[in-house]
Amino acid sequence: MSFFSEKVVIVTGSSNGIGRGTAVLFAKEGAKVTITGRNAETLRETKQQCLQAGAREENILEILGDVTDESFAAKLVTATVEKFGKLDVLVNNAGGSSFANIGKGILDIPIAEFDQMMDLNVKQVLRISQLAVPHLEKTKGAIVNVSSIAARHNLLPFPYYGAAKSAPDQITIQMAGSLIKNGIRVNSVNPGPVLTNGVVAAGATKEEQDKMFEGAGQIMPLGRVGVPEDIGKIILFLANRSQSEILIGHIVTADGGIMIKSAMFPDS
C-alpha cells in the first residue's frame, strides 16, 4: 500500500503545469486530492487526468478560485477538511511572473508590480499555511513549498519575480524550525526551467515561450528542460515521511544542472 493511500492533499495552482503533474502523481498513489486554479476548463482537465491515473471521482475535489483572495484561501482549506475529514499535505505550488515590464531595470518598474509578485508568490503561501497548520498538526503532516532558482539568480528580465521568489526560501526555513515542534515537516523545491504554460500565463506569446524553453534546453547540462512530473516526484518524496523524515527545512534545487554552470566558463 502506498504511503499516500487515503492521505488528503491540497495542491494549489493545479490547473496546469507543475501543480497538475503533482496532483496526478498523488492521485495515482491513492491520495484524496483538492485541486484548484482560476481556469475552470483546465481544472476539469486536471481532474480527468487524476481519474485516468486511478483516482475515484469522490476523492477529487475541484475548487475554482484565486489563491490571492483571502476569502478563497479560507474556503480552500475549510472545504477540503469538510469533505475529506482531515488534511495531511499542503503543496504551495501556485505562483507566477509578469511580462508587463520585461527587460526593464528593477528601479524602472512600478512598485505596483512588486506588490503583485508578493501577493502571488509570498503572501498567499503564508495565508494558506496558517489556515492549514491546525489540521496538519493533527495528522503530523507536511508542507512542501514550490519556489524557483530565480531566488538565487540575477534574473534580468524579471527582477521583482526573483525578489519575490527569494522570500519563500526563508519562509520555508522559518516555518520548518517552528512547525517541526508540532510534528509538521516543511521543505521546498526550487525548479529551474520546466515545460509548462507559465510564460504564456505571465503575458508572453506562445512563440516567446517556445523560444525561451528551446534556449534553456540548449544550455542545461541535463540536455533538456524539466517537465512537471520531474518536480512532482520530488514533491511526493518530500511529503513522504517514510522516505524523507530526516529532511527539515531543506531546499531542493531541481534545475537540470544550471546552478553548477560557470559564468566565466559557460561551456565547461
Beta pairing partners, 58: none
Catalytic annotation, pick one of 26, 72, 158, 161: 161
Residue 5, judged by CB atoms within 10 A of its CB (0-12, 13-18, 19+), counts as exposed
Tell me the C-alpha distance between 182 and 137, whole Å: 6
Answer yes or no: 161 catalytic: yes
Q: Among 61, 16, 59, which residue's Cα sits nearest to residue 41?
A: 16
Residue with cell 469522490: 58
Rg for the chain, CA atoms, rounded: 18
Tell me the C-alpha distance between 237 and 245, whole Å: 10
* Enzyme catalytic residues: 161
